[in-house]
A and B are shown apart, each in its own frame.
Chain A
Amino acid sequence: MNGFPILSAMLAVPLLVSIACLFVSARGARWLALGATLVDFALGVVLWSHFQIGAPGLPAAQWQFTERLPLFAGFQWALGIDGIALVLIALTVFLMPICIGASWNAIEKRVPEYMAAFLFMETLMIGVFAAQDLFLFYIFFEAGLIPMYLIIGVWGGKDRIYASYKFFLYTLLGSVLMLIAMLWMANAAGTTDVPTLMAYNFPVAAQKWLWLAFFASFAVKMPMWPVHTWLPDAHVQAPTAGSVILAGVLLKMGGYGFIRFSLPMFPEASAAFAPLIFGLSMVAVVYTSLVALVQHDMKKLIAYSSVAHMGIVTIGLFAFNRQGLEGAVVVMLSHGLVAGALFLCVGIIYDRLHTREIDRYGGLAINMPHYALLFLLFTMASVGLPGTSGFVGEFLAMIGVYQLSSWVALVCGTGIILGAAYMLYLYRRVVFGGQVNPDAAAMPDLDARELAMLGALAAVVLWMGVHPETFIAPIHADIATLDARLAQARPEGDAHLRAGGPIMPALTARITEGPTGEGPSGEGPSGEGRTR
């Protein structure tokens, strides 16, 4: 891209259309919003296709599409993306048209304002991933509270007001301390440029405070146990598209924050607090999975499963190795698609019966076969079945953390089994069995709009499951850079692997050739960790 500010354009399109939406009719607002999100999606495709992926011997720039404009006092309009930001922006622009589609008939009152809020939200989400200035990031990060507060509060369910307050105040309290930390960092380092700060070595004592301040914000956003309680409330009360965007993109901001700020800027503090992260993540994975198992409300069940999946993300991030980091990013992507799709599945039957009670359904496979098939696919993806996107990320993240701590891997592994339990249990109760409720049995199958939305998601879920390299290729180089940055602080793993010595000379003589050649590369990463 020769100088065309494509990132600014991606921010400007939804913003301008969101203002325009306020002045048109409900029908006009729907089409305008769909048009704007599709234009942004097209821009996203252009962005991805022009993003240069480094090959061995031909490294690409880490930060691409950079824009710098000194517009403001104290900070600047600095945009730019690396591979990690690229895939998350792609996720955002891919989910947005689906969100608009999900709201097409479900939202009947105050449609122009609704579409305006969603488009504004899209601007802010892209801004979060594209911002390269500390305070610009903060502004985008924090501003998301306003449209989300309105979306939950105006178009939400019965307890929407409580949920909207909880969402707003919880996340605000988390974020404000981060602002103080950012001010301190800008003051100490003399710059607000994120790439510069990512290479800046703060004193270790200060790092710990800074890390904790950032943690307060990202842990709430993520959300990590025990500050996750806003999430089930917000999800249950939000309209379907609100849940999709909340699970699909907003939760990723926490993980993105860890990967962009906490880890590279405070590597020593991250290593020091890794046990804390592991502890909270283990509790999250097991505890919220158990809570999910006993839910009667479908949305709440999926909300709790989100918390569990985010636990896998955090252990991957703090595994301090490439597998863990890449796994975490892939889980974030996969969860964005799968949780979004699951919320859509819930939304589709909610639109028909206006209840989220699991017991009110049953036997949907009989009258909604297409729905049952797609729902099954997303259930399996959520469980982490090989061949779906869920498997790739979880597998990598578990490999990553296994090198650091077998116990964490063990406990989180049980969480995946529990995940299979609650998802399959949900699926059985909703889709299989007899048609006990006549009104549920009378529901029509998917229409073209719903089929298009779920079909698009299903295609990408399968694509990511079968050929994940498409989605991992852009992030390889950036994860390697991050891994190199973290090397100075990498904690020692608990698995002290030793190359086995010969037990019986005769046996050794027979297998001299094979194992010695294969040994080091076979246990590559852990061997690498040990030698450092």
Chain B
Amino acid sequence: MGWLVALRMTAAEEVLSLTGLAMLLIAAWGGDKTARMLTWVGVAALALAAWLTLPALVNGAMGPGANAFFGQYAADSFAAYAKLLLYLATAASLLVAPAFFGRAGAYRAEYPLLLLFAAVGMGLMVAATNLLTLYIGLELNSLAAYVLAASARDDQRSAEAGLKYFVLGALASGILLFGMSLTYGFTGTASFAGIRAVLHSGVLPMGALFGMTFMLVGLAFKISAVPFHMWTPDVYEGAPTPVTMFFASAPKVAALALTMRVALFAFGGQGHGWQPIVVFAALASIVVGALGAIGQGNIKRLLAYSSINNVGFILIGLATGTPGGAAAMLVYLAIYVVMTIGGFVAVLMLCDAQGRQIEAIADITGLSRTQPLLAGALAMVMFSLAGIPPLFGFWGKFVVFQAAVAAGMVPLAALGIAASVIGAFYYLKVVKVMYFDDPVGKVVGRADAMHWLLLGLAVLALSPLGYLATTWLDGYAVVAAKALFRAA
């Protein structure tokens, strides 16, 4: 395989990296006044990257033909599916930023280019078929994310969020690296295909078991699965809302896709080893995410717990260990990204007369009377997150539980779905506050047209019309999942 072929396969990353570097230079010389222009450049670069990625998904690229750079990088349909999702989420995070930061004062030029570098890192994460690619991608994404979390320099909570995220993220990276070194030591290879071949069957050696467990712990931190979720509410609350929206969507997709590739492919022969861990993390995330959210008075913290809760449902798909489960996770991820974008865009449209972000749930009381459209959209997102049909959020839960039942894990499915009722309680609370209580009239600021556009698109996708896309979505998810199971 020649270099040229490999370079063509990684074209999306190259476009994003080169654009990012160029943007860095423009920002260094042009200053913050170039920020708006850079945003659009970033969106264009992401669109181009998506266009370059699309063929791999449509053609169902998989197997050895999709490997670049000697098996370190897979340009298969699984990676393509995940990349399209995370490019979408990144682009949405870019588009909401100018109006949001413009309200508060300065919109800095670092924001778009950090997002672009994070996108490169995430692209590497989902395409990684080697422990080193995995780590490079993860760190590239994380370093950008630490800076983003602290990007509101005059806000103490943002600084706190950045510091917490950095310290705990570094710890998780260390744990992951430790697991990787153990795995490498006991299998003698860093490539996923090699690990799969060595550990294909038989008893897992003690060292490799530790390696696998530590790797899963490190990844569980990145996807904020219980019990490694502690940082999530604080970081989500402290970071500026567009950054929170980014954290809740794109890196989650990337880390979950990475976890899928590690668990289902690299350790695919040792399912009985990691399945109990994933089952526990799934149920614990659902329950803790739901219970934790009940007492929250801040809507960003509430959404943070909601994302923990959602990760739990996604992990049920992983716990099955089947291609059907993997496809269900991918469908759920797509719907989750749309719900997250819809939810956070609605939240960042809540502002007072001075354009300051309103975060307290008590302050959106009676919103349905003062801003019926916004309240309606937020209510739809909430019902969707709760998984109530006919909204599209139901479909994500549906496919995941369908996969679990098909894999014979009926008790897991029954427990998971019963716990989802706890979650419905706090989503209802937001609707109750907006619809049943008398208005306090704090949300008076006018929202930007771009915000309305994104919110409108998200709500349209979450409406029952979304079901018309199920055939199409399921088709691609199945192809992507198939690629995952025969990546070598």
Contacts and interface: CB of A to CB of B under 8 A. Distances in A.
Interface of A: 71-74, 110, 113, 135, 138-140, 142-143, 145-146, 149-150, 153-154, 160-161, 164-165, 168-169, 172-173, 176-177, 179-180, 183-184, 186-187
B417 A161 contact: no
Contacts of A139: 389-390, 394
Contact of B435 (A74, A153, A176, A180): A153
Contacts of A73: 470-471, 473-475
A177 B415 CA distance: 9
Contacts of B399: 74
Interface of B: 368-369, 372, 383, 388-390, 394, 398-399, 401-402, 405-406, 410, 413-414, 417-418, 420-421, 424-425, 428, 431-432, 435-436, 467-468, 470-471, 473-475
Nearest to B425: A169
A44 B414 CA distance: 39
Contacts of A177: 414, 417-418
Contact of B401 (A71, A140, A169, A179): A179
29 contacts: A71-B468, A71-B471, A72-B470, A72-B471, A73-B473, A73-B474, A74-B399, A139-B390, A140-B390, A142-B389, A143-B389, A149-B431, A153-B432, A153-B435, A153-B436, A154-B435, A154-B436, A160-B436, A161-B432, A161-B436, A168-B424, A168-B428, A172-B424, A177-B417, A180-B401, A180-B405, A180-B414, A183-B402, A184-B405
A434 B475 CA distance: 73
Contacts of A169: 421, 424-425, 428
A512 B401 CA distance: 67
A176 B389 contact: no
Contacts of A146: 383, 388
A149 B428 contact: yes
A74 B474 contact: yes
A72 B468 CA distance: 6
Nearest to A213: B414
B415 to A, nearest CB: 10
B418 A176 contact: yes
Given A153-B432, A180-B417, A74 B424 contact: no
B123 to A, nearest CB: 28
Nearest to B478: A73
Contact of A150 (B390, B414, B420, B435): B435
Contacts of A140: 390
B421 A180 contact: no
A182 to B, nearest CB: 9
Contacts of A138: 389
A463 to B, nearest CB: 35
A165 B467 CA distance: 27
Given A169-B425, A180-B401, A180-B405, A142 B388 contact: yes
A427 to B, nearest CB: 35
A146 B390 CA distance: 9
A113 B101 CA distance: 34
Contacts of A183: 401-402, 405-406, 413
A161 B429 CA distance: 10
Contacts of B372: 113
A139 B388 CA distance: 8
Given A142-B389, A180-B413, A173 B435 contact: no
Given A139-B394, A153-B432, A180-B401, A74 B470 contact: yes
A39 B428 CA distance: 33
A180 B404 CA distance: 10
Contacts of A176: 417-418, 420-421
A183 B388 CA distance: 16
A73 B398 CA distance: 11
Q: Which of A110, A154, A172 has the most chain B CB within a 10 Å cutoff?
A: A172
B389 to A, nearest CB: 4
Contacts of A187: 402, 405-406
